[in-house]
Amino acid sequence: MQRLRRTSALRRLVAETTLSVDDLVAPLFVREAIDSPEPISSLPGVFQHTLGSVVVEARRLVGLGVPALILFGVPERKDATGSGASDPDGIVQRALSAIRSAVGGEIVVMADLCLDEYTDHGHCGLVRRDGRVDNDATLSRYAEVALAQAAAGAEVVAPSGMMDGQVAAIRGALDGAGYSETAILAYAAKYASALYGPFREAVAVSIADGGDRRGYQQDPRNARESLLEVSLDVAEGADMVMVKPALAYLDVISAVSRAVPVPVGAYHVSGEYAMVKAAAERGWIDGAAVALEHLGAIKRAGASFILTYFAAEVAEVIGDR
Ligand code: PBG
């Protein structure tokens, strides 16, 4: 077996998986009403950007050859319906148009489509009087958000709220308003994971009354329902699907990539990034090497592309263009 492992050129020749800059999607946070970028303590190297600095960061990603970014907004005010999410003047909408006018065409501009960053209760949808999320009432809100994001220049909208029927509602709204070219990346198999902790700091979300998302996100113990989730989303019009988180769900990525004929993204989430950074800061692991090994494993499992906070850092290391 060792004959083909002798030299780096031999190993490259027979490698089954290659991680390329083209596989990376960079998540970016833009926050309303701040004057300078704010570091996120649980995501070292990641910032809440201003409207100005988010454009600078988008340009840097273009320079590094990263093909896509996905935007998350942190509004100044939150309310029960998450009205900031669909406000034409809302922070994400302003950032989308600023990025599109600066570097549109050079990088794919995606927008996360959810309400949790904008609701005062922190849930991904509208909440009924009994405290439960109202799936069907939420769909019309998602349609409004999709239209606002498309109007502001999002080329891809990425619904992450795990409401049943969200892709159909969004596709119908987009088509009905003349945005038939706007694509949908569905967070299709999204688990109720403890690995989203640092993200909630990044977007200043806490769920009311010690609540959680187990009523609408998937149970980590289940794999088979992911196949139903993705096939429903594809049938509803998803152009691409996503599995999230990534490393603890490589079996799901593998099964989904074999089951559906659309590109499959994987979200290497905030907790996955933070664990590598924390261990590397202590000198316990070589952070860059572990990042490459992790992202390579996600590709090996079958992901077409990876959303990761390592995007810029890894692009600098592998820089293959
Ligand atoms: C919901 C959303 C979440 C993430 C992306 N979109 C949080 C959640 O579902 O609670 C998490 C991403 C990460 O942890 O990196 N808008």
The DSSP annotation for 109-126 comes to EEEEE-STTTBTT--SS-
- For residue 198, how far is its CA from the centre of ligand 1 (angstroms)? 9
Which amino acid is present at 285?
I
What is the pLDDT, as a whole number, of residue 321? 42
Q: What is the mean pLDDT of the chain?
A: 97
196 lines ligand 1 (CB under 6 A): yes
**Euclidean distance between CA atoms 176 and 298, whole angstroms:** 36
pTM above 0.85?
Answer: yes
Tens digits of residue pLDDT in 17-45: 999 999 999 999 999 999 999 999 999 99
In a domain, 10, yes or no: no
Indicate which CATH number applies to the domain containing 188: 3.20.20.70
Question: Cα 291 vs. chain centroid, distance in angstroms?
Answer: 17
Question: Which residues on adjacent β-strands are paired with residue 306?
Answer: 24, 266
Residue 219 DSSP code: P
What is the pLDDT, as a whole number, of residue 88? 97
Which atom, in ligand 1's list, is nearest to the CA of 271?
14
Q: Which structure tokens are listed for 271?
A: 């907790």
233 lines ligand 1 (CB under 6 A): no
> Domain range for residue 133?
15-319
In a domain, 274, yes or no: yes
In a domain, 46, yes or no: yes
Q: Based on the residue annotation, tell me whether 277 is a catalytic residue of this protein.
A: no
In a domain, 67, yes or no: yes
Q: 207 near 123, Cβ under 8 Å? A: yes
160 lines ligand 1 (CB under 6 A): yes
Q: Based on the residue annotation, tell me whether 190 is a catalytic residue of this protein.
A: yes
- The one catalytic residue in 78, 190, 277, 299 is 190
310 lines ligand 1 (CB under 6 A): no
The H helix count followed by the E strand count for the chain is 11, 10
112 lines ligand 1 (CB under 6 A): yes
Please state the domain count of the chain.
1
- For residue 186, how far is its CA from the centre of ligand 1 (angstroms)? 13
Mean pLDDT of all residues in 267-293: 98
In a domain, 100, yes or no: yes
Tens digits of residue pLDDT in 40-59: 999 999 999 999 999 999 99
Tens digits of residue pLDDT in 194-248: 999 999 989 889 998 889 999 999 999 999 999 999 999 999 999 999 999 999 9
Tens digits of residue pLDDT in 147-196: 999 999 999 999 999 999 999 999 999 999 999 999 999 999 999 999 99
- For residue 68, how far is its CA from the centre of ligand 1 (angstroms)? 18
What is the pLDDT, as a whole number, of residue 219? 98
- For residue 3, how far is its CA from the centre of ligand 1 (angstroms)? 45
In a domain, 3, yes or no: no
Tens digits of residue pLDDT in 87-128: 999 999 999 999 999 999 999 999 999 999 999 999 999 999
End-to-end CA, the chain: 32
Dihedral sign for Cα 248, 320, 51, 182, please. Answer: negative
What is the pLDDT, as a whole number, of residue 21? 98
Cα 191 to Cα 6, 164, 205, 216, 218, distances in angstroms: 41, 14, 18, 9, 4
How does residue 312 score in pLDDT terms, banded at 50, 70 and 90? very high
For residue 221, what are the contacts with CB-CB under 8 A and spacing of at least 6? Answer: none
pLDDT over 60 (residue 320): no
In a domain, 185, yes or no: yes
Cα 146 to Cα 73, 244, 300, distances in angstroms: 14, 21, 32
CA nearest ligand 1 atom 7, residue: 196
Share of the chain above pLDDT 90, in %: 95
In a domain, 2, yes or no: no
What is the pLDDT, as a whole number, of residue 232? 98
